[in-house]
Amino acid sequence: MRELAAEIASMGRLRHQNLVQLHRWCRKHDELPVYDYVPNGSLDKILFDDTHQNIKQLTWVQGYKILLGVAEALLYLHEECNQMVLHRDVKPSNVLIDANLNAKLGDFGLARTYSHGIHPQTTHVVGTLGYLAPEITRTGKATSSSDVYGYGAFMLEITCRRRPIQPQRIGLTCAHPQPECRPTMRRVVEVLLGDPAFLRFLLISSMKLPGSSHE
């Protein structure tokens, strides 16, 4: 509880136009935080939910504005705060879009603060598959560079309108009719942990599927 209170206190001191603002925290009722109301909801709903009430499809100009906003939020967290903040979970579902289509990076449940110049030390892997930098799965250590990796996956998701990991592609590769094209279970585990080499393997294997448009 003490660590949670200290972490929330740190988040409450953050001030940036592209961060969801923490206003209050109620300790007596399940530790409920109170944030800004952001009417357009999370970005992943806008990207992948066809029933979204307010925005049907982002234009390139709107997408650029969102990408720039999240980049400026991360710059603030990494370099412009009194302490460096690692978000550790940059992804569309953690980005809220306000009425003017400004991006607000939120959900600091996995975030950690460090003094500038101190090498961050983490003890276990946290984050979301597809956005985890490969070095995190090997060492368990998050850095500002691993946030940059997550931002890169986030950027590709907006520009390509595709999620970074597509379970159906993994399943199709495992069920490939040619035995030599199927991966081992070690390779399946590696892709689920974000191994970029196996992601390339999936792409090559999918090109060999019967009826593939790449044939």
Q: What is the CATH number of the domain that holds 113?
A: 1.10.510.10
pTM above 0.75, yes or no: no
Check whether residue 183 and residue 148 sit in a common domain: no
| Whole-number pLDDT of residue 9 | 64
For residues 116 and 196, membership in a common domain is answered with no
pLDDT of residue 214: 44
Q: Which domain holds residue 7?
A: 2-160
Residues 95 and 199 in one domain: no
Q: What is the pLDDT of residue 184?
A: 79
CA distance 37 to 145: 30
- Taking CA atoms, 122 is separated from 7, 83, 169, 202, in Å, by 15, 16, 32, 31
Among 141, 160, 179, give the residue marking a domain's end. 160
**Does one domain contain both 138 and 192?**
no
Q: How many CB atoms lie within 10 A of CB 24?
A: 9
Q: How many other C-beta atoms are found inside a 10 Å radius of the C-beta of residue 66?
A: 24
Rounded to the nearest 5 degrees, what angle is found at the Cα of 109, between the Cα atoms of 105 and 111?
Answer: 75
Q: Which of 177, 173, 190, 12 is nearest to 85 (CA)?
A: 12
Same domain membership, residue 114 and residue 201: no
Q: Is 163 exposed, middle or buried (0-12, 13-18, 19+ CB in 10 A)?
A: middle
Question: Known catalytic residues?
Answer: 89
b/e per residue, 164-195, with b = 16+ CB within 10 A?
bbeeebbeebeebeeeeeebeeebbebbeebb
Q: How many domains are contained in the chain?
A: 2
Question: For the chain, which ranges sit under pLDDT 70?
Answer: 1-11, 27-32, 51-56, 117-125, 165-170, 191-215
The reply to whether 174 and 116 lie within a common domain is no
Residue 186 in domain = yes
Instruction: Say whether both 23 and 74 belong to one domain.
Output: yes
CB 183 within 8 A of CB 173: yes
Query: Does some domain include residue 214?
Result: no
